[in-house]
Amino acid sequence: MTGFFTLLHKELLRFWKVGFQTIIAPMVSTLLYLLVFFHVLETRTEVYPEVAYAVFLIPGLIMMAVIQNAFANSSSSIIQSKISGNIVFVLLSPMTYRAIFFAYILAAIARGLLVGLGVYLVTLIFFDIPLLLPLWAISFVILGSAILGALGLIAGILADKFDQLAAFQNFIILPLTFLSGVFYTIHSLPSSWQYLSHFNPFFYMIDGFRYGFFGISDISPYISLLIVSVSLVVISLLTIKLLRSGYKLRQ
């Protein structure tokens, strides 16, 4: 367990030491989204009855920030270590693959949660945001960031260069987040788009997380919880398998 705690501690320090870039900057950009969308759309849209659009938007934006930062944390840590070569220090050690996996995932969750919590606390100053079912919200934010942490680990292992990682981020993670209902409920979409949204795993994370705030969701939170949990288990097993195989790490 010492190995796991050390790697976790190191991974936490890694982003904490550059906190301005890894926590403050994403908070600011999320708040900018909020500011822009709030001013453009506030008078036109009411998504849920008696929920102001800005307030509707906030949980989605928080989850988006959590997702992106959890992914960024594990993926950038791995690829930096790979490119600078210092990944050998982890690879030479007797740590088990599971210990390595959990250390990276927990660090990703921690960064996701810190950014999310930061955004939430700042928005609390300006808006009255209900948090009706906090346990639901917390469950989804943890499961969601864990999934993205694992995806980040996979992307970091597979990518050989930073631009490949950026492609993964810009062509997969970003579109899936933007099309997952951060800015709208899928009920407002044409039916074919609604149908497609059900294949987007991020949709369930955001819908379930929003349920924790308003007690309202596009689909049953139990279904979302099931889908998100099963996704986490499957992706985690895949990631551990990838680590164990040594693919791209132990040539």
Partner 1 sequence: MLPAIEIIRVCKNFGGIRALVDVDLEIHPGEFFALLGPNGAGKTTLINIIAGLSLAHSGSVNVMGYNVTTQYQQARRNLGIVPQELVFDPFFSVREVLLIQSGYYGIKHNNRWVDEIIERLDLAGKANANMRSLSGGMKRRVLVAQALVHKPPVIILDEPTAGVDVELRQTLWEFIKQLNQDGHTIVLTTHYLEEAETLCSRVAMLKEGKIIALDSTQNLIGKLASGNSVKIRLLPDRLPPVLQPLQKSCSNGLYELRIDSYAQIEFILSTLRAGNTQIQEMYLQQPDLEDAFVSLIRNSGNKLQ
Neighbours of 37 (CB within 10 A): 18
Record the tokens describing residue 200, joined without a space: 């987007």
Does residue 196 bind partner 1 (CB under 8 A)?
A: no
Does residue 251 bind partner 1 (CB under 8 A)?
A: yes
The answer to whether the beta carbons of residues 158 and 243 sit under 8 Å apart is no
Closest contact distance (angstroms) between CB of 88 and partner 1 is: 6
In this complex, which beta carbon is closest to partner 1, that of residue 12 or of residue 238?
12
Q: Which of residues 78-97 bind partner 1 (CB under 8 A)?
A: 81, 84-86, 88-96
Selected from 12, 14, 29, 248, the binder of partner 1 by CB under 8 A is 14
Q: Which helix (H) or strand (E) holds 239?
A: helix 221-245
Write b or e for each residue in 189-218: b if 16 or more Cβ atoms lie within 10 A of its Cβ, otherwise e: eeeeeeeebeebbbbbbbbbbbbbbbebbb
Closest contact distance (angstroms) between CB of 124 and partner 1 is: 32
Does residue 248 bind partner 1 (CB under 8 A)?
A: no
Does residue 12 bind partner 1 (CB under 8 A)?
A: no
Does residue 20 bind partner 1 (CB under 8 A)?
A: no
In this complex, which beta carbon is closest to partner 1, that of residue 89 or of residue 195?
89
Q: How far apart (Å, rounded) are the C-alpha atoms in residues 71 and 76?
A: 8
Does residue 188 bind partner 1 (CB under 8 A)?
A: no
Name which of 175, 174, 158 is nearest 75 in CA terms: 158
Q: Which of residues 102-161 bind partner 1 (CB under 8 A)?
A: none
Record the tokens describing residue 235, joined without a space: 């992706």
Which residues sit at the interface with partner 1, rule CB under 8 A? 2-3, 5-7, 9-10, 13-14, 17, 81, 84-86, 88-96, 246, 250-251
